[in-house]
Structure 1
């Protein structure tokens, strides 16, 4: 059973290559999806996408070809185009890769980020310091992924930012699902607060270690409880 095209895309205003604009719009929409929060496959309807984007089907088809080459979607003859889901082994591997990159970004942030940027972590995520995450899990889930993206950004390393962008769709979905299991949300908050404190103190060794342990904890959780991915 599959659902056809649940993406939320915005019409394109032509100013450069329509294929490039279609690619960017579709990649953003796919990356923002919670593909692991649903049991069914996500099928993309080329005709519907062209209508939503306000362009012909040609740039949409070309954009989907690029996304397939990058591993975001797969094309099946007589069935259509589907957003790719990873199995448990692949997800654990991707979390390991993300963790290696984010922990280095945390180390770099201790050197490269301004005091104001580091303070903004505490100021921008009141969800980590107030109330119980289980009371507003959707909001906390969104804040959680923004927090990890913010650490990547504070590292001021374009290569790390580029490499993590292609992992984001899968890591986002798995983090969102894991937060709803057991005490993962409460544990996540405690670990985030410790990471923020280490960054504010510019303790690069500690910040890198805490981010690494945080990510490896997620990988272990998925490895233990992620049989639903296979």
Structure 2
């Protein structure tokens, strides 16, 4: 699978208010390995940048005056992402801005050009409900080094997101068994096992007496309806 990890920086928070993209950063991954191919452009938005936005990414309008406009790079950008799965943190924000820019050029939305869009913020909320799931929080949770991230930068954030995504989707790490020293060392070298310090204690929640009573009533009902063919009661008897 070809995936593109994407991030943008903008002049403000609402493209519906006329805010524009000022930076696009993309890194390519194939079969869960970075390919070292990337797309990165600063863009002249032809408008002022909100003070709040500038405090986040540190990019000034003066810096962007000699940079290309989105129209100058749109075709090249679409060629880079064409047919790939876009992986974006808070995808609605970036896709909204990209589609607004493309609409100004009478071009098709980006999600009709790429294969699909995956939102890692939604993934993180499903995996870690009730917790902070911004990129910094995920870096801390998964042990991804982001010490060089003092300000937001589209290309840097796309690279960090790729590392976080690999950590979030490495499902086999939750099935750690005693494989012996040789096998464990080989799998760890291949990136299939996390460091020992990353392993978390699994807590087993036992059913309460009330829950067990309800469970027994349900099994009895199933036994009556199935005329004695309740597999769970058979298992309990045989076990």
TM-score, with length taken from structure 1: 0.28
TM-score, with length taken from structure 2: 0.27
Instruction: Please state which structure has a larger fraction of its residues in helix.
Output: 1
**Greater RCO, 1 or 2 (C-alpha within 8 Å, sep 6+):** 1
Instruction: Please state which structure has a larger fraction of its residues in strand.
Output: 2
